[in-house]
């Protein structure tokens, strides 16, 4: 079965799997004091500059660790209504931190200083939770990507107002591939304080990394990782995957491929006049409205999600292993159903 | 490097790793709706009878899910002072549930009704947290194993007093191998309400399972799993390991081997009069007091932990991959150092 | 100084204060086992039928106790964006329960089944927090009052969908006085599951009561009260106030007076064409838009709040001790400033 | 009825009640921006030097605010097993902060550096909660009082090891009266970082104050107060009591009286050979073992608590309103029952 449902329907890139197999070599010290974790940490520091690196099992875990590093329970997170932390994590960030999410409706999943300004009036008022983190997803849940300029504007706005900028980077590789710049240039150099670096949705079996750039957030991070049940005893098996992904830009190769497949899908869809693409296709997601009658028959062959029950907007995700043949067959199937 | 530090220093059993490799086959539905999870769930139900199965990334995650299913925040958990939930999880159970742990000092890591009775006077007193869960580890952190009779006594005592019996089964395979009975006979048939079934310490790359036997605890469990950041998008890669482990008693083969190696270690140590074994060696752990001067030199060759800084008691753990040669060389090294 | 800022700027009704003085009579058993609490509980039960009664120090405390009785941390509360629990409690309900608030924008502070329906699609989806409580304020923070029919519709909708109806009754007396029915008729008879009965904003020195009507919510309530730091050792001094307030409808007399003063204020304001009343004046609050230039000079004589910085809407609250003279002078001052 | 059960069985000192009555004078700004709170704050600052003052409704609320100011959820509190925060608050501190309590068995309710040292080995180990607060009660729950030297030793030890010293001062007046020094000398001058100043158990109707001496703990305190549901809208009625209590040492007069009555009780009990006093009577509590047969008949006339069900130790508390006649009659009743 192939699908366009999610990049987490895909499996493991062969090179990543080989790295796991290679790491299965006698005993290693547990809880991250192993040689694989050491090497992976070094690669992260070579790429991003000085950073604390903490591994997590999944995106929710990585987000919870990141937010805990930033927040007192009376402080709040500003995010888009579509943010994964708000829409897809069963309230984990709120339950784990005690903090409230202050959500903003957006058309394209992206925040901007203008949208956040109204919350500044809360600052200092003891009856209100206090805005402390601006949390964005890069790329967003709507497949859009913040430009470097947009990122810098958000980081500056955050810092000018005593807040941190957090990036949910479950798909940071797709975003950076789309921007065509370096990882550091697209993150810490823009002023990001703390972020997750996603692995699972870009060819890894399992694993996310929390990168803590801001030194004042680093000290408590290992304790939050442990208390959030995200510290892995056999961490070599996550670290070996990251090492393989980072050492010669496999992350980029996979992300570029996913993005290219999304562009190829757009091209094919443009040949079908009844299909209306609804969001900028900056990364590996395509959002569209298609004739109602085609949805269920198409889902029978290729799984995908109806994103919005009201508008009947659908979402198609491309993965590192999506092929041109998959896209062609998918588009032809859709055409035949309309 | 080989070590006697912990069963989580070991790697992956070759058959388990092959199962992971085989599961890397095109796309699967995410978040546990895949075919591997289905098969693993079926095996758990075949072995244990009707049970809800929830997968977790690590032991702390599994314990947190289990305890959340049982507890209101004003309710408390009774456990041994040595319990992993008290001693080794950085307060995760307490932070996640809001509940207090009521700890009991024991000589051998095992609870018994007599030890718990004094807490019953709290029941109904609004100034006290209310005992609701008796949590035991099987095998215990001291390498001892509850007999079926002891388990039934605890379960009956729990139920007679409106409490649940929770088992931290990070090493349940070692315990059951030691008891020489079936998994069901040693758990649900004794009255256990909810437990974790450990994988990571018994030859898996990653993965624990929470088994919810008591029907009144089943409904909320999937939400607690998700909110605790323990729901895995690519769950097939955990489920495939459990399937392999369960389908023809590989769990038992590995656990029996670890236990046998611990017994073999005891036999070799008995030849050294200066070594005093301090706990019953029921499973795969050996606790001992050895001449002080031998500790550091021995650790240089074989990693292990000093369990108790006061008494200088040390702990040696055997794993599925410990060999007779490892044990012989370890014992001879120790002998030569004394 | 007199003000129209809030009904909590007012002091204590003389009869209530006398009741406090009378209660200062030798020793009483602490933590609510005193004779005054017994009498107050009896009065609540006489008025509302079988109910558990728990006293709280303030409205936030009462709301937190109520919501804790209803919620698991993965369950959510649906409320108006203007709800006190969302807008004025510094995130206390969320921090204390771990639960998220799902807020709804309204024009008049009132919820209705149609507004809530979109949230039902979350039910059963493990990635979403699960709607479990519909929380309304009666009267609302915008001074409007739900009719009995509206209340019943919400209660039926809640129960049909496995939810509870919670009423933040910080101003329930004003609402019931406005409806012209009995307390029971306006609450438990409409299907309310749990509510707070406000004292502080209606002539008491201090004190709110949580009334737990739904028997399935009663058992845990005293533990939540205690764990929320809302159990008062010298509870006789809160209970004596409620006893005085309830025994011959002093609650109604005070609330009717506040409401009447609000109506009288409306009448006086209607004589000033530049004043635009913006909300139905159902209880003791008047919302209005007035010429910008008058706001600050008017606040110098009579404190009040600008409710909405964007629209420059202002709020005027009447209290049990607001007099006709206060209203006349206030309206004349305003007139003179325009 | 008079009793020796608890100092919270007593009522309100007449002067305190008069202060409440006087404060009931027209309107005041709510939430602590009133003139009474201003005056009370000034008095606290005059007595203790620069300090943040936050009012709370009860001792549990005050302790929770204090501990929240000091703790991340992975950090722990070291306290005596008998501490109110551990034994009498239904887990409120743990539930509210997420932090664990590390309890120490003591013979007299008092901690000392030697008892705390074993916990230092946890520091830096990510598997352990991190000791951050030493919390003591002054006077203790066993009626004993720390000397200035003992306090300074604890404060120095705390600060040398990166911890804070918190004082649960529900009975701080009794302790300071016992020490015969000034309030400042007995608290901030010894190195206390944060404390509660109890009112309810020393003649107030209601009210505790949290005094935040350590400047690094002050900033967040008002938000924790609000989020803990301890911010009182009509705070003038608590502040007026503290003002009255502080302005001419009424706190000392009441505490000295309670302490003197406890000494008088000891003197009378010493005349009964069958009564064995079990703790140093430093403040207003007397602990004793008396002939079993006398307990219930004595409780029929004078309420008191059996402190320890095992040892049958009983506790008698004296209050600001205990009289010599009460003590004489109590002792004679006891004598007649033996």
The CATH number of residue B277's host domain is 3.90.1150.10
Q: What is the pLDDT along chain D (338 residues), one digit of tens a residue?
A: 789 999 999 999 999 999 999 999 889 999 999 999 999 999 999 999 999 999 999 999 999 999 999 999 999 999 999 999 999 999 999 999 999 999 999 999 999 999 999 999 999 999 999 999 999 999 999 999 999 999 999 999 999 999 999 999 999 999 999 999 999 999 999 999 999 999 999 999 999 999 999 999 999 999 999 999 999 999 999 999 999 999 999 999 999 999 999 999 999 999 999 999 999 999 999 999 999 999 999 999 999 999 998 888 999 999 999 999 999 999 999 999 99
Q: Which two tokens stand for residue D143?
A: 């009626």
Task: Find which of D72, D90, D97, D105 to mutate to test the B interface (most B CBs within 10 Å of its CB).
Answer: D90
As a whole number of angstroms, the distance between CA A209 and CA B170 comes to: 25
Number of Cβ within a 10 Å radius of residue C153: 18
Cβ-based contacts of D27 with chain C (< 8 Å): 1-3, 5, 9-11, 303, 319
| pLDDT tens, position by position, A156-210 | 999 999 999 999 999 999 999 999 999 999 999 999 999 999 999 999 999 999 9
Q: Is residue B273 part of a domain?
A: yes
Between D73, D220, D226, which is nearest A227 by CB?
Answer: D73
Q: Do B309 and D101 touch (CB under 8 A)?
A: no
Yes or no, beta carbons of B127 and D100 under 8 Å apart = no
CB atoms B205 and A234 under 8 Å? yes
Kindly determine whether residue D233 and residue C8, on different chains, have CB atoms separated by under 8 Å: yes
Residue pair B10/A27 in contact by the 8 Å Cβ criterion: yes
What token pair was written down for D60? 């549990």
Distance CA C167, CA A63 (A): 34
Q: Does A60 touch chain C (CB under 8 A)?
A: no
Element (H, E) at A153: helix A148-160
By the CB < 8 Å criterion, does B124 face chain C? no
D74 touching chain B per CB within 8 A: yes
- Domain limit, last residue, from C194, C217, C247: C247
Task: State the pLDDT at residue B26.
Answer: 87
C59 belongs to a structural domain: yes
Q: What is the mean pLDDT of residues C19-25?
A: 96
D contact test, residue of A54, A223, A230, A233 with most D CBs within 10 A = A223
pLDDT value of residue A265: 98
pLDDT value at A2 more than 90: no
Of the three residues B195, B213, B247, the one that is the final residue of a domain is B247
Edge-first strand listing for the sheet containing A276-277: A276-277, A285-289, A313-317, A305-308
Across the interface, of B29, B92, B200, the residue whose CB is closest to A233 is B200
Are A31 and D126 a contacting pair at CB < 8 A?
A: yes
Query: Is residue B267 in some structural domain?
Result: yes
The tens-digit pLDDT sequence of chain B (338 residues) is 789 999 999 999 999 999 999 999 889 999 999 999 999 999 999 999 999 999 999 999 999 999 999 999 999 999 999 999 999 999 999 999 999 999 999 999 999 999 999 999 999 999 999 999 999 999 999 999 999 999 999 999 999 999 999 999 999 999 999 999 999 999 999 999 999 999 999 999 999 999 999 999 999 999 999 999 999 999 999 999 999 999 999 999 999 999 999 999 999 999 999 999 999 999 999 999 999 999 999 999 999 999 998 888 999 999 999 999 999 999 999 999 98
Among the three residues B222, B247, B272, which one is the final residue of a domain in this structure?
A: B247
D162 in contact with A, Cβ within 8 Å: no
Inter-chain touch D73–B89, beta carbons under 8 Å: no
Domain shared by D153 and D35, yes or no: yes
Interchain contact D85–C (C-beta under 8 A): no
> Quick check: is C3 in a domain?
no
Nearest CA in chain A to D222: A126
Measured from the Cβ of residue A25, the count of other Cβ atoms closer than 10 Å reads 13
The answer on B254 and B241 residing in a single domain is no
Confidence of residue A94 (pLDDT cuts 50, 70, 90): very high
Contact B230 A91 (CB under 8 A): no
Chain A interface, mutation test: which of D130, D217, D223, most A Cβ atoms within 10 Å? D223
Whether A211 and A321 share a structural domain: no
Interchain CB distance below 8 Å, C94 and A94: yes
In this structure, the answer to whether residues A115 and A45 fall within a common structural domain is: yes
Question: Is C212 found in the same domain as C268?
Answer: no
Q: Any idea which residue has 């009286």 for tokens?
A: D257
Looking at the whole model, is its pTM more than 0.95?
A: yes
Distances, alpha carbon A289 to alpha carbons A306, A329, B27, B156, in Å: 10, 19, 24, 59
Q: How many CB atoms lie within 10 A of CB D108?
A: 15
The Cα–Cα gap between D313 and A169 comes to 61
Whether residue D242 is found in the same domain as residue D305:
no
CB of C227 less than 8 A from some CB of D: yes
Q: Is residue B220 part of a domain?
A: yes
- C-D CB pairs within 8 A amount to 158
DSSP B57: S
Same domain, B101 and B209: yes
CB contact under 8 A, B76 and D90: no
Contacts of D325 in chain C (CB under 8 A): none
Q: Looking at the structure, do residues A237 and A161 belong to the same domain, yes or no?
A: yes
Q: How do residues B279-304 score in pLDDT, each as one tens digit?
A: 999 999 999 999 999 999 999 999 99
Give yes or no for B99 touching D (CB within 8 A).
yes
Please check whether residue C177 lies inside any domain of the structure.
Answer: yes
Both C175 and C322 in a single domain? no
Range of the domain at B315: 250-337
Q: Does B86 touch chain A (CB under 8 A)?
A: no
The answer for C125, left when phi > 0, alpha when psi is -120 to 50, beta otherwise, is beta
B8 within some domain: no
Q: Are residues B204 and B282 in the same domain?
A: no
B40 and B66 assigned to the same domain: yes
Residues C22 and C47 occupy one common structural domain:
yes
Strand, helix or coil for residue B5: coil
The CATH number linked to D142 is: 3.40.640.10
Nearest to D90 among B90, B101, B128 (CB): B128
Q: CA of C233: which chain B residue's CA is closest?
A: B127
CA distance B118 to chain D (A): 9
Indicate the burial class of B299 (C-beta count within 10 angstroms; 0-12, 13-18, 19 or more): middle
Q: Which residues of A touch C121 (CB under 8 A)?
A: 309
Total structural domains within chain C? 2
Is B179 among the domain residues? yes
Nearest C-alpha in A relative to D71: A72
Minimum-distance CB partner of D220 among A72, A223, A224: A72
């Amino acid at each position: 079965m192939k699908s366009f449902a999610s990049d987490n329907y895909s499996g493991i890139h062969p090179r990543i799997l080989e790295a796991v197999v290679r790491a299965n070599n006698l005993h290693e010290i547990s809880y991250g004091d192993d040689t694989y974790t050491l090497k992976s940490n070094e690669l992260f520091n070579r790429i991003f500059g000085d950073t604390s690196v903490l591994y997590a099992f999944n995106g929710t875990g990585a987000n919870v660790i990141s937010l805990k590093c930033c927040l007192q329970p009376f402080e709040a997170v500003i995010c888009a209504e579509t943010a994964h932390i708000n829409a897809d994590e069963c309230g984990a960030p709120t339950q784990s931190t005690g903090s409230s999410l202050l959500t903003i409706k957006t058309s394209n999943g992206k925040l901007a200083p203008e949208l956040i300004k109204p919350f500044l009036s809360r600052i200092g008022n003891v009856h209100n939770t206090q805005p402390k983190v601006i949390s964005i997803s890069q790329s967003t849940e709507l497949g859009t990507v913040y430009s470097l300029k947009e990122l810098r504007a958000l980081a500056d706005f955050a810092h000018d107002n005593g807040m941190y900028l957090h990036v949910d980077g479950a798909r940071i590789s797709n975003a950076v591939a789309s921007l065509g710049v370096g990882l550091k240039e697209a993150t810490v150099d823009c002023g990001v304080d703390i972020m997750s670096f996603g692995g699972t949705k870009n060819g890894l079996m399992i694993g996310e990394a929390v990168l803590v750039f801001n030194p004042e957030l680093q000290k408590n991070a290992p304790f939050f990782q442990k208390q959030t049940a995200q510290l892995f005893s056999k961490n070599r098996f996550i670290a070996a995957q990251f090492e393989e992904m980072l050492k010669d830009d496999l992350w980029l190769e996979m992300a570029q491929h996913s993005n290219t497949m999304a562009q190829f899908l757009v091209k094919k869809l443009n040949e079908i006049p009844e299909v209306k693409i609804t969001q900028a296709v900056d990364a590996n997601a395509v959002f569209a409205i298609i004739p109602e009658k085609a949805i269920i028959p198409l889902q029978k062959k290729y799984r995908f999600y109806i994103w919005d029950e009201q508008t009947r907007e659908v979402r198609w995700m491309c993965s590192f292993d999506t092929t041109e043949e998959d896209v062609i067959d998918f588009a032809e199937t859709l055409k035949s159903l309309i």
